[in-house]
Amino acid sequence: MTQTEVNPTAHDSGNRATDKFKNESVKSDTSKERANAIYKDLLAAIAEVAQKHEVTYDEYRVLKNWMIQIGEYGEWPLWLDVFVEHEIEKINYNRKGYTGTKGSIEGPYYLENAPELPAECEMPMREQDKAAQPLFFKGQVTDVDGNGLGGATVELWHADEDGYYSQFAPGIPEWNLRGTIVTDEEGRYNIKTLQPAPYQIPADGPTGWFIESYGGHPWRPAHMHLKVKSPGYREITTQLYFQGGDWTDNDVATAVKPELILDPQTDGEGNNIVNYSFALDKED
């Protein structure tokens, strides 16, 4: 197969993200009383906005059409994770008493069961990915008192230089830039990857039309996604960003927290080097 020019579309990545999500188990033990209270307040909020802005029939019909398009393009995971997930994350992972590393949103492109890699490792990447600046990311998974958690796992996934995630765009090896790093006995890891670039969310579909309609931008700052797990501890889903990079103070997904911004130093050979450790709260 020759794969000279891959041209991923919002439609393609949207449908892949939707298919992925449909394969996850989705259930909740929400009571009828709670469901009733939530849906009533939701409709009341919609009514309030419609009244406040005296929404026209044309606007209502545009909304209806747009929602149909979001579904047809498979962009519900994208739109919801960009515009809503940060609020849910804030509610659920900033509880009083948690002192470990801050979380951030998962986004639409996480995949379970990425291949295991040793504590000292290089992320799976293609020759062409190696043109990017290398990033050495080292640190330790600990409890909140700083004790190392040997055998903890750090799942890492991020986009390539062109802003594409493996399995959500065509022509990229299955597990490119995805891995499950198993920490050493002291919880340490040292991962060689590449410096991620700022990321434009797929903008040629209805999520892009939505952003254009209010004159916004479709950019996220350069980021790495992580899930950190150790038995008996609260699992962290988070992201790491880069000091001074574009969009860190203006993320379309509102998912940056100051504690999650890295400041890598460049060595004599042009490698970026950064230390960042994760502290896990005990499971409650």
List of residues contacting Fe ion (CB under 5 A): 107
Q: How many residues bind ligand MBD (CB under 6 A)?
A: 11
What is the nearest approach in angstroms of ligand MBD to the Cβ of residue 38? 24
With CB under 6 A as the contact rule, the residue among 105, 117, 123, 240 that binds ligand MBD is 105
DSSP structural state of residue 148: B
Nearest to 166 by CA among 129, 206, 134: 129
Residues 151, 184: Cα–Cα separation, whole Å: 6
Longest dimension (CA), the chain: 63
Please tell me the number of Cα atoms within 13 Å of 45 on its side-chain side: 6
What is the nearest approach in angstroms of ligand MBD to the Cβ of residue 199? 5
Nearest to 152 by CA among 177, 183, 123, 180: 183
| Tokens (6 digits) for 174 | 């299955």
| Tokens (6 digits) for 123 | 């992320």
Does position 245 bind ligand MBD by CB under 6 A?
no
Q: Which is nearer to Fe ion, 144 or 217 (CB)?
A: 217
Does position 107 bind ligand MBD by CB under 6 A?
yes
- Which of the listed partners (ligand MBD, Fe ion, none) does 81 bind, with a CB threshold of 5 to 8 Å by partner kind? ligand MBD
With CB under 6 A as the contact rule, the residue among 75, 81, 129, 160 that binds ligand MBD is 81
Q: Report H helices in the chain.
A: 10-22, 32-53, 57-72, 76-83, 85-93, 206-213
Residues 157, 106: Cα–Cα separation, whole Å: 10
CA angle 161, 167, 172 (to 5 degrees): 50
Q: Which is nearer to ligand MBD, 165 or 233 (CB)?
A: 165
Please tell me the number of Cα atoms within 13 Å of 145 on its side-chain side: 2
What is the nearest approach in angstroms of ligand MBD to the Cβ of residue 85? 7
Tell me the window of 1-9, 76-84, 118-126, 179-187 that interacts with ligand MBD (CB under 6 A): 76-84
- Which of the listed partners (Fe ion, ligand MBD, none) does 105 bind, with a CB threshold of 5 to 8 Å by partner kind? ligand MBD
Q: Which is nearer to ligand MBD, 140 or 176 (CB)?
A: 176
What is the nearest approach in angstroms of ligand MBD to the Cβ of residue 80? 10
Does position 253 bind ligand MBD by CB under 6 A?
yes
Q: Which residues bind ligand MBD (CB under 6 A)?
A: 78, 81-82, 105, 107-109, 199, 201, 220, 253
